[in-house]
Chains A and B, each alone.
Chain A
Amino acid sequence: MIELCGVGVSVGKAQLLAPTDLLLRAGELVCVAGPNGAGKSTLVRALAGALTPSSGQVSFLGRPLASFSASERARRRAVVSQRSEIAFGFSCREVVLLGRHPHSELAEGRRDLEAVERALARVEVSHLAERDVTTLSSGERQRVEIARALAQLDSDLPPAETALLLDEPTSNLDLAHQHSVLGLARAASREGRLVLAVLHDLNLAAQYADRLVLLDAGHLAADGSPRAVLTSELIWSVFRTRALVMPHPELDCPLVVSAAPR
């Protein structure tokens, strides 16, 4: 559904992403992991069309991404960026309503307001609807941002033609909300959407990902099922960290235990 063909990104002399081929399919929950500065956010921005690759081409639904109009693109893919600052004291409901922009030409209608309420409820922030976003904790704000993305994708389009791109959606969340957000991500992928999430926690990735992509210094280091990707050797070569990998005692996935250098 989204396909990268030799997509590379360079800024000046710095190569943020080496030419990469990657095919992401609808209905998949793809997790992306890697050390700081490995190019994870650059990958997300290239997939979302926020930057023009220095080489190669991004295709979306079999068409070049650049050939979509801005609003056509906005109806089909939502992005939750890593660092989102909201400048003014909008209420949470108003922030989520911004997600309806691509669906409402002039003013929002009843459908849009309903989509907003649904999104607020799914992310369990309905009780914050009237609150000023600038007064929320970073975790709460992150969930409001996810609600905004869900509201943006709420439409009659076939889910298989839509994508949800999440850049570190769990970075500020407590344990319970990490699982509820990734539960939402999984549910969205089971509806048929493509969902991609950048995660730092390899165990969360192991539990939720259908497919795990490891990036290292702008290169694709591994791409496969979590079981195939998460090995002590690969973790050592990418993260320079000792890790024990064992079967999860309860779930059908690997369990990664990192250890201090000996």
Chain B
Amino acid sequence: MTALVHVWTELSRTARANALLAMLALGLVVTLVLALASGVVPVPLRALWSTLAALVSGSGLEGVPERVFVGIRLPRALMAALTGAGLGAAGAAMQGLFRNPLADPGLMGVTAGASLGAALMIVVVGGQVVAATPGTLQLFLLPLAAFLGALLATFLIWSFAQRTGAVRLTTLLLSGIGVNAMAFAGVGFLTFTASDAQLRELTSWNLGSMNGATWGAVSATAPFVLACVIGLPRAARALNALSLGEEDAAYLGIDVERTKRVVLVLVALGTGASVAFTGAIGFIGLVVPHLVRLVIGPDHRSLLPGAALLGAIVLTLADTAGRVLLAPSELPVGIVTAVLGAPFFLWLLRAARRTSG
């Protein structure tokens, strides 16, 4: 063990980053298998393989475990992984852009903006537009609305952020409080005016839950999240340069304005789509990038994929824990992440105050 630690510390940062990314990819596979196998209805590992084989070959599915697996557990695990990946990568990118390790889509109000967008879609736009949209596109309306809400919140926060040097912590948190309050007021008003059916849809994501994970939701979320997770690393070098400050980054030939726009849109994509079906899940975007940075350093080229992978792992584990701990009832995953994440945030805040004042 000590020999292993020694080898690890002797590795260069790049080698360490590659090793961590490989381990995380492997970890994600293991986590997904674990999530698929555990729950109220036990699905034995053997059944997992035979079901996967049946899915691939297209033959029919029989038996309760198989149907639980394909109809419920598989989309749910995929949804958790997608959401976690989106939140992790979006958090890391946002911290890079704002040059502050405490910038988190939840704290900053991006998640709340997405909730407002989705609530507007459900309550105000609602029925007629959905009915007028061709069937397959209907599912995309909700993530699209959440994305637009997130985008609006992101640009609003950005307009408060300072241009020179690092964005000050107080500015960041105060503007987050403001945007959060505005969005929650909007969601509150919509909840107040909603019909019973709309209300049920609205409250399902107050706590953040994977309950609504269907194949449809997964297929509507995936393109948004994948665009975010694959797109963000392309801005990684620009984000690295941006940690010197906007002016110094521009001296290195970085198109700062373009980078900001691209990153803000991708962050809104990842956060918005994650929120649309699962609700506001806090702290993944804060805790996960921080942990990855601790191990491999702040280079965004490995930080962004690392945060996406670890985010997927953590959220899938948290959802599995929520399903198993109080079985047969279920703990919403948002509560699990908050219980773990909130103390971590407070600890981080104290550390940040010690260094930056």
Contact = CB atoms under 8 A, between A and B. Distances in A.
Contact of B248 (A79, A94, A134): A79
Given A88-B293, A89-B298, A91-B13, A78 B100 contact: no
Interface in B261-313: 293, 297-299
A251 interface: no
Given A74-B252, A89-B298, A101-B253, A84 B244 contact: yes
Interface string B85-120: 000000000001001110000000000000000000
B178 interface: no
Contacts of A81: 245, 247-248, 251
B254 A70 contact: yes
A85 B242 CA distance: 11
Contacts of B237: 101
B15 to A, nearest CB: 14
B188 to A, nearest CB: 35
B252 A90 contact: no
Main secondary structure on B side of the interface with A? loop
Nearest to A165: B251
Interface residues of B, number: 26
B245 A79 contact: no
A87 interface: yes
Interface string A44-55: 010010100000
B165 interface: yes
A258 interface: no
B276 to A, nearest CB: 31
Contacts of A86: 243-244
A37 to B, nearest CB: 16
Nearest to A68: B253
Contact of A85 (B96, B240, B241, B245): B245
Output the residue of B101, B250, B355 with the most chain A CB within 10 A.
B250
B34 to A, nearest CB: 33
Contacts of B165: 83, 85
A60 to B, nearest CB: 14
B252 A99 contact: yes
For the complex of A and B, 8 pairs with smallest distance between CB atoms = A74-B253, A88-B298, A87-B99, A71-B253, A102-B253, A87-B243, A70-B253, A79-B251
